Amino acid sequence: MGQFATGVCVVTTEVGGDVRALTVNSFTSVSLNPLLVLWCLDKRTKLAEHVHELTGYGISVLAADQQVLSSYFAGQLKEQAAPTYVFEPMVGGPRLAGAIAALGCRLERVDEGGDHWILLGRVEAMFLADEPRDPLIWFGGKYRGLRP
């Protein structure tokens, strides 16, 4: 699966009044009418313990210059100080400031998919950055950029 290039997103949601965030690349569009998207959550994550409590979430599409945030929300920077980041309010769940796009979703359903949960959401809000920027890409186990 590592030979399939994907964008990188940070999913945000609120659990017990606290914002939880994690990096995912298992995100895809499902339907245009109604507007539905899905992403997959590893059952071993802390957020998976609360999967059946979720009502909504935000999906922030990361820019190429946000690699450190992707690594941080993937739990890869344990020995380093947290990078600076800000969550902006949005319907469904907060969005990560600086993202090139974001979706606010209401959770429609959760299904089992082996060692992951499959979360289907209805898009209720959209954000697009004012200035176009290159996306952060994941391919072959490494971050990549676009080449003209």
Average pLDDT estimate for 118-122? 97
* pLDDT for 105: 97
Residue 135 pLDDT more than 70?
yes
Residue 43 banded pLDDT, cuts 50, 70, 90: very high
Q: Which CA distances in Å does 87 have to 1, 12, 20, 32, 35?
A: 31, 9, 11, 27, 24
Q: Give me the CATH topology for the region 6-144.
A: Pnp Oxidase; Chain A (2.30.110)
Per-residue pLDDT of 82-92, as tens digits, reads: 899 999 999 99
Most confident among 76-80, 93-97, 131-135, 139-143 (mean pLDDT): 93-97
**Torsion of Cα atoms, 19 then 144 then 6 then 140, to 10°:** -110
Using the CB atoms, write b or e for 19-54: b if 16+ within 10 Å.
Answer: ebbbbbbbbeeeeeeeebbbbbbeeeeebeeebeeb
On average, the pLDDT of the chain sits at: 92
Per-residue pLDDT of 48-71, as tens digits, reads: 999 999 999 999 999 999 999 999
Tokens of 46: 């802390």
- Going from N- to C-terminal start, the domains of the chain cover 6-144
Average pLDDT estimate for 99-113? 96
Residue 2 pLDDT more than 80?
no
Q: What is the pTM of this model?
A: 0.92
Which residue would you say has higher pLDDT here, 76 or 33? 33
* pLDDT for 148: 67
Q: What percent of the chain has pLDDT over 90?
A: 72
* pLDDT for 26: 87
Average pLDDT estimate for 89-105? 96
Q: Would you say 17 and 69 are in contact if contact means Cβ atoms under 8 Å apart?
A: no
